[in-house]
Amino acid sequence: MFTSIVRSVRSHATGHIRQCKTMSAIEAGKKAAAFAAVDENIKNNQKVGIGSGSTVVYAVQRLAERIKNEDLNIICVPTSFQANQLIQEHRLNLGTLETCPKLDVAIDGADETDKDLTCIKGGGACLTQEKIVASCAKDLIIIADDRKDSQVLGTTYKKGIPIEVIPMAYKPIQMKIQDLFGGEVILRMAQQKAGPVVTDNGNFVLDWKFSNPCDDWDKCNTTIKLIPGVVETGLFIKMAKVAYFGTADGKVSKRSV
């Protein structure tokens, strides 16, 4: 029995080590992509949109280093409460779209990106503000680890396309999308509280798990947005200029349109 327990502990420890190594590799990819994007796209006297999510943390880290070392004058406009906190924690110049309605560049992550740089975003429920900030920038730069690089949407990201909706309308929207396009539309539930996820705008998020990739994402996106009660979708179409994908060994591949 003792031997069995030892084997169980060793097995658990080995699994934990493997998991840590995997996570470390993923983080290395995120960091490599973020650093490359900041180094190649950020210049002095720019107004920069700061996205949300774990990969953007590395972008802000690198941006703070460059601002300090190169004495850069950069104004940062956040896409979410999280991004706002990141900017303030690194003591960067915080701006808003009221004071900076036109941005030079926006740097943001993605849940998945296809061959045309159409992106699924909104895994962190910040899709509406992310899209608004991206639309105000001359260039949208996507940063991610190489798991997010796909030829076709839905290949690696299985959680579906996020859709931000007015709370009172979530049920009819849910049914209409399923009737129009098939698949399954799920109300996203919170992890640390009872009830649904609530966005920074006070809305709900539906996740559309489509059965088959759409032949025309642009048309699909427009159709969904015309449903009363839909605020925004997590489909970012013809918005990204370039995407940086980092690998576990610190290499970065770049794809542009």
Outline where 117-208 has alpha helix (H).
127-135, 170-181
Concerning whether 112 is annotated as a catalytic residue, the answer is no
8 Å CB contact between 86 and 55: no
Tell me, letter by letter, the H, E, C secondary structure of 42-76. CCCCEEEEECCCHHHHHHHHHHHHHHHHHCCCEEE
Please provide the distance, in angstroms rounded to a whole number, between the alpha carbons at the two ends of the chain: 61
Rg (CA), the chain: 20
Give dist(CA 204, CA 164) in Å, integer: 6
Residue from 112, 130, 164, 232 carrying the catalytic annotation:
130
For 108, the 3-state DSSP assignment is strand
Tell me whether residue 89 is exposed, middle or buried, using C-beta atoms within 10 angstroms of its C-beta: 0 to 12, 13 to 18, 19 or more.
exposed
Name the residues annotated as catalytic: 130
